[in-house]
Structure 1
Amino acid sequence: MKSAPPAAQDRMTPLDGGEVFSRLWPAADPAAPLILLFHDSLGCVELWRDFPAQLRAASGCAVLAYDRLGHGRSSPRAQWPELDFIRREALLLTELLAGWNIGRFIAFGHSVGGAIAAHCAALRPAACQALITESAQAFVEERTLGGIRAAQQQLSRPEQREKLRRYHGDKADWVLNAWVRTWLAPGFAGWNLAAELPALHCPLLAIHGEEDEYGSALHPRRYLSLSREAAELLLLPGVRHLPHREQPELVAGAVAGFLRRRLG
């Protein structure tokens, strides 16, 4: 009889600016690699739903997800994100990694979390074993801005705002407004990954839905252009901005196969 996987563990970690909530899905093998998940602009640990457990089962890796400050169960933020918030978010992770005694990791980021994960990989080349981006933006595209405007209109409805409160509590309005204000700010229009990021020196898998409403396939190709190591592109026909929710088994299996090929 197959034994049950180890139970998930929750932790609050003090960082500069407040406490951060995180959840670890331990691997059956303590020596297995760890995948660190970076959520999107409206996301949090709970919104990954069953995917971390599916990813652990497919890959054999431990999986760690955390709520950025202002999101989920982490401390609220009083200030709006700075225009260089993507790099700043990557720099904040030192205490979180130390709190879980994590030396090396595989970075997996969804949407803007992919850009944060890429910065984390570039800033910690000795620690990051591989980078996986999913639906990640690499620059400000009109398709991205149009998707944000449409989402802003949809989320203005009371029933949709209540869904955000279910995951972010009293921080829900800040979460939505921080996303919209930042990406639609004129000063953010020139942001692009290549201008900020040195070359990536770890294996890279870029996953992208062909019907992604927040970005065309130019984005994953831009990530691949920054890689100096083995890089793979997985374009998913008929898939929109949430591949890990729309096709969870396919995405988890693709990640597991990529890690077997590149890390052994």
Structure 2
Amino acid sequence: MASQIFRWDEAGTAGQVQAGGAMLETYTVGPPPGIAPTLVLLHEGLGCTKLWRDFPRQISADTGYGVFAYSRAGYGASDPCPLPRPLDYMTREAVAVLPELLDAVGFRDGVLIGHSDGASIAAIHAGVQRDRRVRGVVLMAPHFFTETMGIDAIAQARTAYADGDLRARLGKYHAHVDAAFRGWNDAWLDPGFEQWDIRSVLDGVSVPVLCLQGESDEYGTRAQVEVVAERAPVPVTIHMIPDCRHSPHLEAPERVRADIAAFLAGLPGGATRSEPGENDA
């Protein structure tokens, strides 16, 4: 069962919540659930709450939504996780941990925003769990299948971690830095991961989707977002962002925030505030 220690802080601060058998680092800003809808931020394969930088505060100010971010087990200041990670670790996060976590923080109504691995987790959750509280999904640089160029970039990250300054840079954000890096890197470079493919989850998505991808993304091609429009039986908007690599929200923040705000405004109900109990499922 999820812990009840979580408290929402509108001013913007770190906290903790227990879910999925681990104590997880959290960050909240803006109005809590029951007052306004919530944007749930799902970080990349080497991310954590702090690596969203000022994006949570800015997107809350732009939209009037509350924002909830958390660091998955093994990342940031969250509890460590066992290694090696199973090759279906994104699916496990989406169907086992995330539902418990959303219940624990009082999520009532809102949108999932995922980046990279977090975007894949958001898509799996939308396509498999089909949580009625989720009104839309924003996928930034998602992965649905492996590509040679992406695997090559991940192999280069292994070299940078072993021989360069990547370990030192990541160590500023992750309490268990070796576990954070190896959990992601070892899984993606496992020979068995070449067969990883989650395109089928898109067939079950039942809410609108916004895809944002950098035209120069080093981890995935345009095919990763085009497959969403091909398979998801819902309205799908794709924005390719010029002069942008793998982190649109950091490399083109104003463009990304404007795209997300427009997407939210176009959802059924827009950014309407919720009365307590109104959206309980």
Q: Which moved more, 1:109-118 or 1:11-20?
A: 11-20
1:19 is the counterpart of 2:4: no
Q: What is the match of residue 218 of structure 1?
A: 223
Q: How does 1:48-87 map to 2 (within 5 A)?
A: 48-87=52-91
| Deviation at residue 197 of structure 1 after TM alignment | 5.1
* Residue 167 of structure 1, aligned match among 165, 173, 185: 173
Q: Percent identity?
A: 32
Q: What is the match of residue 207 of structure 1?
A: 212
Inter-partner Cα distance in structure 1 for 2:87 and 2:207: 27
Inter-partner Cα distance in structure 2 for 1:219 and 1:29: 32
DSSP 3-state at the match of 1:92: helix
Inter-partner Cα distance in structure 1 for 2:48 and 2:99: 19
Gaps of 5+ in 2: 1-8, 271-281
1:156 is the counterpart of 2:162: yes
Inter-partner Cα distance in structure 2 for 1:167 and 1:82: 23
TM-score for both structures, normalised by structure 2? 0.87
Inter-partner Cα distance in structure 2 for 1:27 and 1:103: 12
| Deviation at residue 9 of structure 1 after TM alignment | 4.1
After superposition, the CA RMSD in angstroms is 1.8
Q: What is the match of residue 191 of structure 1?
A: 196
Gaps of 5+ in 1: none
Q: What is the match of residue 88 of structure 1?
A: 92
Letter in 2 for 1:164: L
| Deviation at residue 29 of structure 1 after TM alignment | 9.4
DSSP 3-state at the match of 2:173: helix
| Deviation at residue 17 of structure 1 after TM alignment | 3.0
| Deviation at residue 28 of structure 1 after TM alignment | 8.4
DSSP 3-state at the match of 1:102: coil
Preserved contact between residue 200 and residue 226 of structure 1 (Cα < 8 Å): no
Preserved contact between residue 42 and residue 179 of structure 1 (Cα < 8 Å): yes
Q: Which moved more, 1:49-58 or 1:97-106?
A: 97-106
| Deviation at residue 78 of structure 1 after TM alignment | 2.6
DSSP 3-state at the match of 2:85: coil
Inter-partner Cα distance in structure 2 for 1:29 and 1:217: 35
Inter-partner Cα distance in structure 2 for 1:194 and 1:124: 16
DSSP 3-state at the match of 1:189: helix
1:46 is the counterpart of 2:50: yes
DSSP 3-state at the match of 1:103: coil
| Deviation at residue 199 of structure 1 after TM alignment | 2.0
Letter in 2 for 1:241: H
Inter-partner Cα distance in structure 2 for 1:212 and 1:158: 21
Q: Encode CA deviations 1:188-245: one digit per residue, 9 max, x unaligned.
A: 1111122455421000000000000000000011122232111100000111001101
DSSP 3-state at the match of 2:165: helix
Against the structure 1 CA distance between its residues 75 and 212, is the aligned structure 2 distance closer, same or farther, given a 3 Å change threshold? same
Q: Encode CA deviations 1:42-95: one digit per residue, 9 max, x unaligned.
A: 000000000111111111111110000000011011332111111100121233
Preserved contact between residue 54 and residue 249 of structure 1 (Cα < 8 Å): no
DSSP 3-state at the match of 1:13: strand
Q: What is the match of residue 278 of structure 2?
A: none
Against the structure 1 CA distance between its residues 41 and 108, is the aligned structure 2 distance closer, same or farther, given a 3 Å change threshold? same
